[in-house]
Amino acid sequence: MQIQLIGLTEIPLISKEDDLSRLILDAAQLQEVELENGDILVIAETVISKSEGNYIDLGSMQASNEALELAQKTGKDPQLVEAILQESQDIVRVGPDFIVSETNHGFICANAGIDESNVDEGLATPMPRDPDASANLIREKIESLTGKQVAIVISDTQGRPFREGAVGVAIGASGIRSLWNRQGEEDLYGRELQTTQIAVADELSAAASLLMGQANEGIPVVIIRGYPSFADLRDTETGAKSLIRPKKFDAFR
């Protein structure tokens, strides 16, 4: 058994209203890669936001009193802090150089997921407005153009409580179940699993980030081929929101 990771290196810098689905297929063709049934395309959230024209002009931000106070505590630019506040429904933790917030989508991450890298000076990209819907549109178009059954995962790079470093996580998905509940199955010793749930979309995102990188790698899309549970986890309805833990079960706030 093996899983193959294929980074698409021929995707140009993305602009507003670019047809990302066609650019992905064009890049695959240039690399002589033909999509197959069961392929999972992991796409960096920045290119989704850029293709949807979802930019923040930091220079146009008018810092509120709250933003000014948080900027003083964190050392961050007040206009960036104002953007973080506008993209958040709750501020969870503030430290000497970080702001952890709950985004308007419900994800908890640093800086509301706003990214200042790989975008023109003075601009930033927030998370896509509806990552699951974006993933679904791309999946439907690629499946229509190729006749292949695929899945789309939109990934972001985020830190984790109690661990250093950042990893790829899923913020949008279509075509594959993001959370796999294996409760009731048996382990190697025949014991029944009681609580095991697998964050499949996060695992796929983390694998893809090994090729995507965080700097100038220029690989915003990775094809994951050979994932053995694709057929069992086929799902075009649920999306990545199933990964968000309900607040009543959140032990860290």
Q: pLDDT of 148-172, one tens digit each?
A: 999 999 999 998 888 899 999 999 9
pLDDT in tens, 132-144: 999 999 999 999 9
CATH number at residue 237: 3.30.1330.100
Query: What residues contact 194, with CB distance under 8 A and at least 6 apart?
Result: 183
Q: What is the DSSP letter of 19?
A: -
Residue 215 pLDDT grade (very low, low, confident, very high; cuts 50, 70, 90): low
Residue 61 and residue 80: Cα distance in Å, rounded?
A: 8
Separation of CA 203 from chain center: 12
Same domain for 164 and 193, yes or no, is yes
> pLDDT by residue (tens digit) across 181-192?
988 888 889 898
Stretch 88-97: mean pLDDT: 92
DSSP calls for 44-103: EHHHHHHHTT--EEGGG----HHHHHHHHHH---HHHHHHHHHTEEEEEEE-SS-EEEEE
Instruction: For the chain, give the mean pLDDT.
Output: 93
Amino acid letter for position 132:
D
Residue 90 structural domain: 56-123
Co-location of 43 and 132 in the same domain: yes
Q: Would the pLDDT of 30 be above 90? A: yes
Please give the tally of structural domains in the chain.
2
HSE value, Cβ hemisphere, 13 Å, CA-based, for 1 = 3
Lookup: tokens for 53? 């024209």
Predicted model pTM? 0.94
pLDDT in tens, 2-24: 999 999 999 999 999 899 999 99
